[in-house]
Amino acid sequence: MDINILNTKNSVLNNYLAEIRNKQIQTDPLRFRRNIERIGEMMAYEVSKTLHYAPCNVETPLATATVQLPTDKLVVGTILRAGLPMHNGLLSVFDRAESCFISAFRKYTSNDEFEIALQYVATPSLEGKVLMLCDPMLATGMSLGKTYEALKKFGVPKHTHILSVIGSENGVAYLNDMLKDEPVSLWVAAVDKELNSHKYIVPGLGDAGDLAFGEKL
Ligand code: URA
């Protein structure tokens, strides 16, 4: 697995990161969702540099132009529900990509203990395709790890890109250990040091799903 941490190089992405973390700006859910979408768009652009391309001729009004176009078959996969704004961002860059949706959630067995429950998968075949799997918060890495394994029965992707907005050092290490020999790239906008006792990322931003879509029961 290779690891790409986007804020190790300063860019405009830092503005969006600052806004999604800012508890005053977080009161505007439209802005929160749109900033996550924008980070998804930027990650899509970075991922696009790793795809395979072949020349294609395009007729302009004046002559023929040869353009290199991506040839990989793409699937954007999203862990519901927090991943949906990233999903939109990726689809607005890769407009012909197929979509895969997975429900994975923390099923608490005590106050601080939980297991990941995976209940619903709607996906096209993944065989030989490039899968971009998004979950904005890579806290423990357990949801993404379990989802990666569960999706194998729908076909083996040629390559999987795991995309998160904020990762924890623990979560990145967990996935790196689990997926060290797999054809996987991890993309995160930033990596934070800590997880609290509820396994939330600190400083992080709070609950990405609630901030995007409101609190749930
Ligand atoms: N999910 C979130 O939304 N935030 C965290 O910090 C961890 C998991």
| Residue 110 DSSP SS3 | coil
Cα separation, 32 vs 28, in Å, equals 6
Ligand 1 pocket member 212 (CB < 6 A): no
pTM of the model: 0.95
Give 203 Cα–ligand 1 centroid separation in angstroms.
Answer: 11
Ligand 1 pocket member 114 (CB < 6 A): no
Ligand 1 pocket member 172 (CB < 6 A): no
- pLDDT value of residue 217: 86
R_g of the chain, CA atoms, integer Å: 18
Please report where in the chains the tokens 């954007």 appear, as a residue: 76
The residue type of 134 is C
Cα separation, 189 vs 46, in Å, equals 11
- pLDDT value of residue 116: 85
Cα separation, 128 vs 70, in Å, equals 15
Task: Report residue 74 as tokens.
Answer: 């793409």
Give the mean model confidence (pLDDT) for residues 33-58. Answer: 98
Distances 12 to 35, 66, 214 between C-alpha atoms, Å: 11, 31, 27
Is the pLDDT at 112 greater than 80, yes or no? no
The mean pLDDT value of the chain amounts to 96
Ligand 1 pocket member 210 (CB < 6 A): no
Nearest Cα residue to atom 4 of ligand 1: 207
Q: At 104, is the pLDDT very low, low, confident or very high (cuts 50, 70, 90)? A: confident
Measured from the CA of 209, which atom of ligand 1 is nearest?
Answer: 3
Angle at alpha carbon of residue 111, lines to 107 and 117, rounded to 5°: 10
